[in-house]
Amino acid sequence: MYKALIITSLMILSLPSAAETTKKTNYKLVHDEQTIIVDGNLDEAVWQRATKMELAYENNPGEGVPASVKTEIYFYENGHSFNVAIKAYDPDPSQIRASLRDRDALWADDNVGIIIDTFNDERSGYEFFVNPLGAQADMRMDDSNGWDEDPSWDAIWESAGKITDFGYVVEISIPFSALRFPDTEGELTWNVAGWRNYPRDVRMQMATYKSDRNLECNLCQFDQLIGFKNVEAGNNFQLTPTLTISRADEKPEVPGPWQDGDVEVEPGLDVRWGITKDIVLNATINPDFSQVEADAGQLDVNSTYSLFYPEKRPFFLDGASYFDTSNFNFVHTRNIADPDFGAKVTGKTNKHSYGLMLANDNNTSFLLPGNQGSDIAELEEGSNIAIARYKVDVGERNNVGVLVTNRSTTDYNNTLVSIDGSYWFSKADSLTYQFAYADTQNPDSLVEEYEDDDNLSVKPEQTGNAMSLNYSHSTRDYSVRAGYTTVDEDFRADLGFQSQANYEKLVVGGNQTWYGDSNDTFTRWGYFGDWDITHDQNGKKLEQEIEIHGNLQGQKQFYTNFGIVHREKYYDGQYFDETQFKMFAKAVPLSGVELGTFFRFGKQIDYANTQLGDVLNIEIFTNYDVNKHLSIEFDYTYSHLDVDEGRLYTANLYDVGLSYQFDMYSIIKLIVQHVDVDRNADLYSYDDIEDRPDSISRNFSTQLIYSFKINPQTLFFIGYSDGGYQDDNLDSLTRDQRTVFTKFSYAWQL
Give residue-wise pLDDT tens across range 63-88.
999 999 999 999 999 999 999 999 99
Task: Find out whether 664 and 130 touch, Cβ atoms under 8 Å.
Answer: no
Evaluate if residue 736 carries a pLDDT over 70.
Answer: yes
Calculate mean pLDDT across residues 103-120.
95
If you ran DSSP here, which 8-state letter would residue 44 be given?
A: S
* pLDDT (average), residues 159-186: 93
Residue 291: pLDDT band by 50, 70, 90 thresholds?
very low
The correct answer on CATH 1.10.30.50 for the domain covering 31-227 is no
Type and span of the H or E element at 268 = strand 263-274
Q: Which residue, among 53, 217, 24, has the nearest Cα to 122 in the 3D structure?
A: 217
Average pLDDT across the chain, whole number? 91
Q: Which amino acid is at 576?
A: F
Adjacent-strand bridge partners of 376: 367
First to last CA, the chain: 48
State mean pLDDT over 540-565.
97
Instruction: Give ∠ CA 266-272-274 in degrees, rounded to 5.
Output: 175
Residues 267 and 284: their CA atoms lie apart, in Å, by: 11
**What CA–CA distance (Å, rounded) separates 144 from 339?**
33
Interatomic CA distance for residues 717 and 738, integer angstroms: 17
pLDDT of residue 691: 80
CA atoms within 13 A on the CB side of 445: 7
Collect all residues with Cβ–Cβ distance below 8 Å to 454 and sequence separation of at least 6: none
Q: How confident is the model at residue 297 (pLDDT cuts 50, 70, 90)?
A: low
Q: Where does the pLDDT of residue 138 fall: very low under 50, low under 70, confident under 90, or very high at 90 and above?
A: very high
DSSP 644: T
pLDDT of residue 19: 47
> Quick check: 376 and 402 in contact, CB under 8 A?
no
Q: Which of 90, 123, 315 is nearest to 219 (CA)?
A: 123
pLDDT at 408 > cutoff 90: yes
Whether the pLDDT of residue 449 is over 70: the answer is yes
- Alpha-carbon distance 632 to 630, whole Å? 7
Its pTM surpasses 0.85: yes
Strands 223-227 and 26-28: parallel
Q: Which residue from 183, 151, 104, 495 is spatially nearest to 329, judged by alpha carbons?
A: 495
Higher-pLDDT residue of 109, 10: 109
Q: What angle is formed at CA 296 by the lines to CA 292 and CA 302, rounded to 5 degrees?
A: 135
CB 677 within 8 A of CB 697: yes
The H helix count followed by the E strand count for the chain is 4, 42
Q: Is pLDDT of 455 > 70?
A: yes
Which residue from 712, 731, 730 is spatially nearest to 240, judged by alpha carbons?
A: 712
Phi-psi region of 78 (alpha: psi -120 to 50; beta: other; left: phi over 0): alpha
DSSP 8-state symbol, 34 = P
- Which amino acid type is present at position 691? D
* Every domain of the chain and the residues it spans: 31-227, 235-264+608-750, 303-501, 514-607
Give the closest residue to 250 by CA, choosing from 698, 719, 654, 721: 721
Amino acid (one-letter) located at 101: R
Asked if 534 and 542 count as a contact pair (C-beta separation under 8 A), the reply is yes
The CA-atom distances, in angstroms, between 704 and each of 59, 177, 400, 610, 745 are 41, 34, 46, 42, 19
Query: Does residue 269 contact residue 240 with C-beta atoms inside 8 Å?
Result: yes
With beta carbons less than 8 A apart as the criterion, state whether 78 and 58 touch.
no
pLDDT category of residue 304 using cuts at 50, 70 and 90: low
pLDDT band at residue 1 using 50, 70 and 90 as cut-offs: very low
DSSP, collapsed to helix, strand or coil, labels residue 13 as helix
Say which range, 160-174, 243-257, 310-324, 664-678, has the weakest mean pLDDT.
Answer: 310-324
DSSP character at residue 252: S
* pLDDT exceeds 70 at position 11: no
| Among 61, 97, 210, CA closest to 559 | 61
Residue 9 pLDDT level (bands cut at 50, 70, 90): very low
Give the integer Cα–Cα distance in Å for 607 and 305: 11
Enumerate residues 6+ apart whose C-beta is below 8 A from 23: none
